[in-house]
Amino acid sequence: MRWAYAVILLLIVAGTTRADDVSFRNTVQPILAKFGCSAGACHGAAAGKNGLKLSLRGYDDEGDYRAITRAAQGRRIDLADPAKSLFVLKPLNLVPHKGGERIKPDSPECRLLLDWVAQGAPGPKADDPRIVRIELLPKQVVMKPGAERPLQVKAYFSDGRVEDVTRWAKYTSADTSVATIGEDGRVKAAGYGEGAITAWYLSTIAAATVTAPFDNAVPPETFASAPRRNFIDGLVLEKLASLNLPPSPRSTDEELVRRAFLDTIGILPTAAEVRAFLDDHSEAKRDRLIDALLERPEFIDYWCYKWSDLLLVSNPRLKPPSMWAYSNWIRQQVALNTHWDDLARQVVTATGNTLENGAGNFYLLNDDPTKVSETVSVTFLGMSINCAKCHNHPMEKWTNDQYFGMANLFARVHAKSAANGHQVIFSATEGDLVQPLSGKPRPPQPLDGKPLPLDWKGDRRAALADWLVSRDNPYFSRAIVNRVWANFMGVGLVESVDDMRKTNPASNEKLLDALAAYLADQRFDLKSLMRTILQSETYQRSSQKLEGNAADRRFYSHYYPKRLIAEVMLDAVSQVTAAPTPFKDYAPGTRAMQLPDTKVDSYFLKTFGRPDRMITCECERTSLPSMAQALHISNGDTVNQKLQAKGNRIDQLLAEKAGDDQIVEDAYLSALSRHPTADEKSKLLAALAEVKPESKREVIEDLYWGILSSNGFLFNH
C-alpha cells in the first residue's frame, strides 16, 4: 500500500492543477461509467450500493456530484490531502472495497480523478461543453475469423473540441458469434457473418459493422446473373455477395402457392386451387396469384388478427361491447385498406365514445400517460423507451428528459362516463406530468420532434401525430416495414421487431432504408409493400439450402421455414379434415383467425403459443417447440377428434367412393399443396390395396394423421 500511496503522491505532483482541466461532467462521469462504478450492479443500482447511490451510467450529473462530495458529511473527498480521498482509494482497493480494484494506481484514470480532487473537486457547470455525437471508427470492418484489430471512438463536443475517448467508452457486440469486443476497443472476428459493435460514451451511441465473409468460392457471375424482380433483390444480392453466400434457386410452384397463401391470408389453398395454379403455364400466373390473395376476404381476417395482436384487443381488459367496437374498427380499416399513417393518426388522436369510435379503446387499455407513451413507441416506432423512465436509456440515445417530454403529450387525455355507461375519450386544456428527477413537468415533445409550450391549449396528440407519421420521421416507416417483412420472410431485418434500437441494427440497413422510403412514396399503403415483397425473387426463393448458404440465418439467401402460428395451424387442420373447430359463443364455422379476442378457451391455441395481448410485444407469441405440443399433435384430442368427426373429409371421400389414387392425391394436395412423389404414392397405394373394406377408414385416418403431424404440414416452407 505504501508503494501505491507513493505513486498517488507522484501523480499529484506531476499532474496539472488548472481548475478547468478536469470536468466532472465530461471526465469523471465517463470514468465511473467505464469501470462499472455507476453500473446497475454497483452504485448505479436503484438503491445504490453500500451507502453510495449514483445514477445509472451517470445520467444525473448534479445528483451524482452531491452524492460524491456532499453525502455522508462529505467524507469521500479530502481537499486538503487528495490522495486520502475515499473517492480515489476505494476504486484503487487501497481501503476495503467490495467492488475490488477497479482502477490501477498508475493509470490515466487515477491521475484524472486525483487531478479533479486536487483542483477542488469542481462540480458540473452550466457552461460545460456538451457532448454532440461520437463516432466509432472505422464504421465498416471486413475481417477473417480469428483476426483482431483496434477500433477508435471520437467524441465531438459543443465547443468544437474532438477527443479520442476510446479508453473510456463502453462496448457491446450485437452478435458475439460473429464478433467480440474487449474493454480496450479491440474487436475480434469470432465467426462468419456480420454483426454490429456499439460504443457508448456520455449517453451517446455509435455503431460499426464487422463483416466476416463466409469461406465460399462463389463466382461473381452467380450474383450478377441471379434474377432480379425489383429493388429488394438487388440489395439482397449485394449483401449476399459481400458475404460469399450463394442464393438458392427459385421455389417450385408447389412451394410458392402454399407459402403465399399462408403468409398473406393465413389459410391453405384448396386441392382445386393448387391444381389450377399448377396447370397454369403462363408467365404471369404468380403475379395473378399475388393480386388475387391481396383481395381475398381472408386477407381481412388475417391482417385484422395481426393488428389486433399489436393493438391489444382483449376481452378481459375491455367490456365485451368495447372489445367488439375496437375489433370491428380494426377490421374496417383493413377492409378499406386504410394507409398505415392514417390508421396510426386515428389511434393516437382518438376521441369520443369508445363504442362509436372503436379506436378510443386504445386509451382505455393504456390509461396512464407513461403507459400510453411506451405503447405508442413500441406499436408505431418498434422501440421500447421504458428504460428511460428511471434513467437515461443504457442501450439507446433516449434520455430521461425525452421520456417525460414524450409522456407529457398524453397528460391531458382523460376518459369520462357516458350516459350509456360507456366511456368517452377527450383532451383537456390543463394538466401536466411531473418529471420526478426535476420535480417539474417537461415541455411536451415527441422523441425527436420540436417541444410545445407548456401553456399550449390545443390537443398535444395532434402535434405528436404530425411528427409520428411524417416522412421525415426515421422510425415510423422502418418499424412497420420491418413488421410486414418479418411476416413474409420469417425473420425481421431487425430482430426482434419490437427492438429497433441503434444498438440492434438491421441485417441489411440499405434494404430497410429502401423499403421504408418505398412505403413512404406509396403513402404508407401496406398492400403495395406486400405486393412488392411477394413479387420479389428473394421471397420466391426456395427454402432448400445450398452447401454454401446452409449457415445463413438472417441474410435471405433462401426462404426460412417457420412453424405455423397457433391460429393458422388450427384452421389448417380444420380445413384439411373438413371438421371446423367449435368456439363457445361463436357461430359454427368461425375460424380461429376470425376470433376478435384471444381469451377464447382453446387448449390447442394456448399450447401452441397464442398471445394473451397483455403487452405490446412480439415476445407474447411463441413458436418455441415443447413436449406438450408434440404430445398433442401425436395423441391429443384436436387432430384425432377431427379425423373421427362425422361428415368430415374422410367420410366425404368414402361417400363419393373415391379410388385409392384420388384419396392419396387429395390428402397431399389439400395439406401439403403438392402431389405425392412417385415413391410416396406407390407405397401408400400398396398399403391401401391390402386393407379390408371394414378397416379402410381407419387406414385413411392414419394417412391423414401422418401428413398432419409432419413437418411438411406444420411448417411454412
pLDDT tens for 677-708 read 999 999 999 999 999 988 999 999 999 999 99
Confidence at residue 16, expressed as pLDDT on a 0 to 100 scale: 41
Q: Look at residues 476, 447, 233 and name the one whose alpha carbon lies nearest to residue 341.
A: 476
Condensed to tens digits (0 to 9), the pLDDT of residues 90-106 reads 999 999 998 899 999 99
Distance, in Å, from the CA atom of 552 to the CA atom of 363, rounded to the nearest integer, reads 42
CB neighbours of 645 closer than 8 A, spacing ≥ 6? 577, 579
C-alpha cell at 358: 372503436
Distance, in Å, from the CA atom of 244 to the CA atom of 237, rounded to the nearest integer, reads 10
Condensed to tens digits (0 to 9), the pLDDT of residues 475-493 reads 999 999 999 999 999 999 9
Distance, in Å, from the CA atom of 400 to the CA atom of 389, rounded to the nearest integer, reads 6
Distance, in Å, from the CA atom of 260 to the CA atom of 534, rounded to the nearest integer, reads 8
Start-to-end CA span in the chain (Å) = 66
DSSP state of 386: G
Residue ranges of the domains in the chain? 2-118, 131-212, 253-295+481-559, 299-468, 566-608+625-716
pLDDT-based confidence at residue 18 (cuts at 50, 70, 90): very low
Condensed to tens digits (0 to 9), the pLDDT of residues 134-155 reads 999 999 999 999 999 999 999 9
Confidence at residue 422, expressed as pLDDT on a 0 to 100 scale: 83
CATH value of 131-212 in 2.60.40.10, 3.30.1380.10, 3.40.50.150, 3.40.50.970: 2.60.40.10
Query: Which conformational region is residue 442 in: left (phi greater than 0), alpha (psi within -120 to 50 degrees), or beta?
Result: beta
Confidence at residue 15, expressed as pLDDT on a 0 to 100 scale: 45
- Single-letter residue type at 209: T
C-alpha cell at 673: 399443396
Q: Is the dihedral of CA 182, 187, 188, 194 positive or negative?
A: positive
Is the pLDDT at 8 greater than 70, yes or no? Answer: no
Query: What does the angle CA 99 – CA 101 – CA 102 come to, to the nearest 5 degrees?
Result: 85
Distance, in Å, from the CA atom of 242 to the CA atom of 605, rounded to the nearest integer, reads 42
CB atoms within 10 A of CB 713: 22
Distance, in Å, from the CA atom of 82 to the CA atom of 636, rounded to the nearest integer, reads 74
User: In 197-296, which residue ranges form alpha helices assigned H by DSSP?
Assistant: 220-224, 231-243, 253-265, 271-279, 285-294
Distance, in Å, from the CA atom of 593 to the CA atom of 305, rounded to the nearest integer, reads 6
Average pLDDT over residues 115-123: 94
